[in-house]
Amino acid sequence: MTNASVREFKMPDVGEGLTEAEILKWYVQPGDAVTDGQVVCEVETAKAAVELPIPYDGVVRALHFPEGTTVDVGTSIIAVEVAGGAAPAQEETAVAPAPAAEPEQPAEQPAARQPVLVGYGVATSSTRRRPRKQAQDPAAQQAASAVQSELNGHGAAPAAPAVPAAPAAPAAPAAPAQRPLAKPPVRKLAKDLGVDLATVTPTGPDGVVTREDVHAAVAAAQAPQQTAPEAPPAAPAASAPAAQPAAPASYDSARETRIPVKGVRKATAAAMVGSAFTAPHVTEFVTVDVTRTMKLVEELKQDKEFAGLRVNPLLLIAKALLVAIRRNPDINASWDEAAQEIVVKHYVNLGIAAATPRGLIVPNIKDAHARTLPELAASLGELVSTAREGKTSPSAMQGGTVTITNVGVFGVDTGTPLLNPGESAILAVGAIKPQPWVHKSKVKPRQVTTLALSFDHRLVDGELGSKVLADVAAVLEQPKRLITWA
């Protein structure tokens, strides 16, 4: 092994901002020869499955994590032995690294992000992590543990007597010299909720306080009031403290199944919680006769311009929403909390909620407003097929401005959809069913559906939201408006 070195390939940031990924499958094993550009594994990020190629030739020396493991971005996942002399600047680790040089490298290259074949390597942070506070009072440690257990839904009874130890919190002001690290929106949230950031335990990268940390601090302050009445019954059981903590963790494996929250489900949960508790939602409904739209769908299927394309009601619903946005452009906007500005988008990246084997994802059609009806049909078909195959790229799910979710395919009438984070409106489409309807002064069976539009009431007033929903309904009732309003 003369003149050889070992290079550690780190988990890259494949989605510009993602913090972790799960290793789904290894395509190589220790001892296998690999070449530059060869795919060595498949990983699942928060929204998509991505294949990772190795950026150099060599022989696999070790796989650091088994399949199914969630790994943080920037963590070495595979070691490859390469022939040759000194490794280039991109090399992560060598066989004999110079111990004196390592501490100096972060100071010399703080802002460099090394490009890899997929995305970018993890960025070196320019901020310093605040030193963790060491709780010197054992009672304070027990109280913190009890609160955290309660927040996680696994509150343990023996921890209740430690609640009175909350007065140990005054020890926090001992570190006022260091200003807590937090983004402006988080600081505003803490101010509104009356939370002192200096007393909040940060969980974000580099010791940054997140929104979840602030909410956790509020819940922790309320927890003693809720758990205090339950504290006395726990006292008689103090003689067997070792047996009590095990009780909440036990469950009937024959009658229950526990599924780890990760990947798409974890990302969806975080996004929906953030959306529900950040944007004030308002949902409006309208029931509309779409008989003429259904007839137009059948006619378009026979049109040679749509040969080989999938034509369905969703295509015309998407076009109707685009027309409504053109007539009411202020609906296509987002709220910038940090700058305290409303950002009106002069383009429409139309998101389509898609149910996949890995969970719900929302890829979007870039510049949907500029596409003709056949082009929109082709984009919709490609988007759906790619999503079902699990090949949707992270970039396809970024930058959406407004979304459509078709809950009608499940046979339900409608719903109250939650906004996709960063967007101001989402349209839910219910099932299209024959119903009795007054048409030309007579009750006749007509194709009817219910539409629901949820919008962010911070930047969308009731009038604007109502106009958008009414315009969509009007186009679907009279498809000729696609021409007259266009």
Residue positions annotated with a catalytic role: 457
Do residues 168 and 139 make contact, with C-beta atoms less than 8 angstroms apart?
A: yes
Q: Encoding tokens for residue 456?
A: 């962010």
Tell me which amino acid residue 8 is. Answer: E
Q: What is d(CA 326, CA 485) in angstroms, rounded to the nearest whole number?
A: 9
Measured CA to CA, the distance from residue 288 to residue 285 in angstroms comes to 10
Please give the Cα distance from 94 to 86 (Å, whole number).
8
For the record, the structure tokens of 300 come out as: 């378009």
Q: Residue 410: exposed, middle, or buried by beta-carbon count in 10 A (0-12, 13-18, 19+)?
A: exposed
Token pair of 158, please? 């023996």
Strands annotated E in 123-249: 181-182, 208-209
**Amino acid, single-letter form, for residue 93:** T
Residue the block writes with tokens 């026979």: 302
Q: Which of 8, 11, 9, 39 is nearest to 26 (CA)?
A: 39
Residue 96 contacts by C-beta under 8 Å, 6 or more apart in sequence?
none
| Other CB atoms within 10 A of residue 421 CB | 15
d(CA 10, CA 30): 17
Which pairing describes strands 359-361 and 354-356: parallel, antiparallel, or unpaired?
antiparallel
Q: Rounded to an integer, what distance in angstroms lies between the CA atom of residue 32 and that of residue 59?
A: 6
Counted residue by residue, the chain has a size of 486
Question: Bridge-partner residues for 43, per DSSP?
Answer: 23, 50
Handedness of CA 274, 278, 279, 285 (dihedral sign): positive
Phi, psi of 385 (to 5 degrees): -65, -40
In angstroms, the CA 383 to CA 398 distance is 14
Reading the block at residue 111, the tokens are: 């802002």
**How many CB atoms sit inside 10 A of residue 160's CB?**
23
How many CA atoms lie within 13 Å of 351's alpha carbon, on the beta-carbon side? 28
